[in-house]
Structure 1
């Protein structure tokens, strides 16, 4: 069994779709793959056949992996109820409403549940694709972290760091994120990914060389901006999508996931990803 974790320089840089694409690729290549995000916050969620709530992102990743969505994929779901509070769902079941400060203190008690859940998943699958949340460099939230570098340490996972070039400042965000991490956290980052690029990739060559030299981490992918009809969570959305308001058929979802898989294969060094995980593609 092995794993890979996708973290980002910020919310909505493309972590969820990157994970979905990798789940699809690994499944296509014959591996038993499982998506995992220890904690997610979203007012949109999916209800499983058994009545459990999990995030829409892990639901899409489950489809990409050829699996039925289940609560182990997203053991903690925070459903916002106000600017300062959320319903905390544990393993798909509502637990209680908590204010942000209350949950910040409470979440450390969930670490053993997260680790036990992860270990169970690990035993049963070839590859676990782990998604982070927000940014690992949110220094005010790093204490008792359970979803970014804290999760990477629990799972002993290598990390790919994704930055969004469409909003500008991608090199600064990649550099700043890495430099705000502790040395042992930086050492987990094995590759950088530049997402949502428009134009001629050769224009990035000098910047890629400089960021690789400065951080001593390779850029393993430059992913083009590509409107895909795959459902978003309710954070920052780049453009209006039909699938966010009208449900897709299974065939439509599979077709879009196929496009995503092909795009990643063409624009990311997938062999390098396999090497990072200690596997051959």
Structure 2
């Protein structure tokens, strides 16, 4: 039977995902067969596995830290909010439909727990250590009866639990004590230690607080983890965008890239590799006045494309984007953002919203009609005919993934910049994406391929074209996405290993220190 440790929090966004990632890398460094697990994720930031299944992005980062290929058993239930207290339910990597919060929590969640236990059984057979992440707080009494991600999992495995609080937001001591008080006695007994996360300053000043917590709760404080700047690890969901304070006018940045942050933005990690470039200032835009003077505008994916498009129209961002494009600013769309660039988006089955049809931005000669089935696949593509700002952009074997609902049809003989040569491990020959030079204006390009900017040479070619437009010289490749991620995981592991009582953790997990 595999050993396990479970990380729960006093609330959402306290650092459960990051501590889970750190422990995965620490145990991987120790030579263990370690695997991450989260029974149920609620996030719009998702990923497609090699076998075409959809899972939460946080478990992808944890899998990478553990030295593993992501697989859906790590996250058997994914909820993707669609608005109006409703979510698309993804079970074992496949969408099964939309449900209201009441329908899911009152009727379906306990049925989905069967998939959770089956995934756990498979993981226990193939791995020696499970690092399990909870969700939100285990003390949410209104949800606890039908909860399948916190104490129900811990009880099923008899897994020891570490409770995490974020001291950076304040009230950490009260939240730890209060959470424990609200747990049932048998649940409280499973909590074997406490962690204080995101601490800034002199850790010795916290000694009285540690003494109080241990005396008050009878639980050891395993450590105080410092606030870590610029971790370089994929964020779980768009709530983290509020923490990405990036100035539009960083004097050291040669290029400024604006990402339009719509209410249902998804897969914003598509742009993390751009943000990490030393000559780039990448910022997120919610309001017209925040758009500034970007060198490139990016329209990201969306879980509710038509409503996000209407939002751009209503808040004035559509008009602001048109003004920039008319002035020569290039515009790129990824997935839902790509669909917005066309003439029309139709949703006759109301797959995403109640809108039957919405006019697109009208830049690209194409129309998209949503269907009941979602396409989820990993792909490999070549860049075959992309003239970007006067430069021929090339690229072979660009890896990424598709995750979208809807069929896009094109008018005339459009220029497809990419050719998909492999989809879900099958050789194909599919024209993909679209680019169009707007007469006397800027260039508009779109693609369904997530992760296209993660390819170091392709990304640098795009950035150098932007640099040339500003009269700046080319730069060689500045960063390797894969190497940067490995460094980030190792750095995180080093910080957490130094911050926690690892001998005490081993005892809690039933191991000899």
State the distance in 1 between where 2:156 and 2:122 align: 13
The yes-or-no answer on 1:246 pairing with 2:250 is no
Distance 2:499 2:61 in 1: 21
> Which residue in the other structure is 1:58 paired with?
59
8 Å CA contact retained: 2:43, 2:237: yes
| Partner Cα separation in structure 1 for residue 207 and residue 272 of structure 2 | 40
Other-structure match for 1:70: 71
Distance in 2 between residues matched to 1:113 and 1:78, nearest whole Å:
14
CA distance in 2, matches of 1:225, 1:263: 10
* In 2: Cα distance, 1:188 partner to 1:88 partner: 29
> What secondary structure, in the 3-state scheme, does the structure 1 residue paired with 2:201 have?
coil
Tell me by how many angstroms 1:143 deviates: 0.3
Separation in 2 of the partners of 1:205 and 1:54? Answer: 40
Q: Would you say the 8 A contact 1:7–1:161 is kept in 2?
A: yes
Pair 1:260–1:241, CA change in 2 (3 A): farther
C-alpha distance in 1 between matches for 2:27 and 2:58: 17
Deviates more, 1:238-247 or 1:142-151: 238-247
Number of the residue aligned with 1:232: 235
Q: What is the alpha-carbon distance in structure 1 between the residues aligned to residue 98 and residue 245 of structure 2? A: 31
Aligned match of 1:221 in 220, 223, 239? 223
Alignment of 1:1-281 (within 5 A): 1-104=2-105, 105-227=107-229, 228-237=231-240, 239-240=243-244, 244=269, 245-247=271-273, 249-280=481-512
* Whole-angstrom CA distance in 2 between matches of 1:258 and 1:83: 40
CA deviation after TM superposition for structure 1 residue 83, in Å: 3.2
Per the TM alignment, residue 235 of structure 1 is displaced from its structure 2 partner at its CA by 4.6
TM (norm. structure 1) is 0.97
**Which has more helix, going by share of residues?**
1
Query: Could you tell me how far apart the structure 2 residues matched to 1:109 and 1:255 are?
Result: 40
Tell me, what secondary structure is at the counterpart of 1:18? Answer: helix
Contact kept, 8 Å, 1:229 with 1:241, in 2: the verdict is no
Instruction: Please list the CA deviations of residues 234-270 of structure 1 after superposition, one character each: whole Å capped at 9, or x if unmatched.
Output: 2532632899423451111111000000001111111
What CA deviation, in whole Å up to 9, does each residue of 1:30-65 have, x standing for no partner? 110010000000011011122111111000000000
Separation of aligned partners in 2, 1:59 and 1:40 = 12
Deviation (angstroms), 1:79: 0.7
TM-superposed CA distance for 1:112, in Å, is 2.1
TM-score (norm. length: structure 2): 0.54
How far, CA to CA, are the matches of 1:241 and 1:26 in structure 2?
Answer: 33
Contact (CA 8 Å) 1:12, 1:235: kept in 2 or not?
no
8 Å CA contact 2:92, 2:115 repeated in 1: no
Unaligned runs of 5+ in 1: none
Distance in 2 (alpha carbons) for counterparts of 1:23 and 1:234: 20
Q: Partners in 2 of 1:222 and 1:235 — Cα distance?
A: 26
Q: Is the 8 A contact 2:91 2:112 kept in 1?
A: no
Structure with greater proportional strand content? 2
Contact 1:136 1:142 in 2 (8 A): yes
Count of residue pairs the alignment pairs up: 281
CA distance in 2, matches of 1:201, 1:40: 33
Unmatched runs of 5 consecutive residues or more in structure 2: 247-267, 274-453, 455-480
Q: What SS does the aligned partner of 1:51 have? A: coil
Contact kept in structure 2, 1:162 and 1:194, CA below 8 Å: yes
Relative to 1, partners in 2 of residues 1:241 and 1:233: Cα closer, same or farther, differing over 3 Å? farther
C-alpha separation between the residues in 2 aligned to 1:153 and 1:145? 12
Cα separation, 2, equivalents of 1:53 and 1:252: 25
Per-residue deviation, residues 3-26 of structure 1 (Å, max 9, x unmatched): 000000000000001000000000
Partners of 2:36 and 2:130 within 8 A in 1: yes
Question: 2 CA distance for matches of 1:217 and 1:246?
Answer: 38
Counterparts of 2:212 and 2:504, CA distance in 1: 20
8 Å Cα contact 1:145/1:151 also seen in 2: no
**RMSD of the TM alignment (CA)?**
1.4
Structure number with greater CO (CA < 8 Å, separation at least 6) is: 1
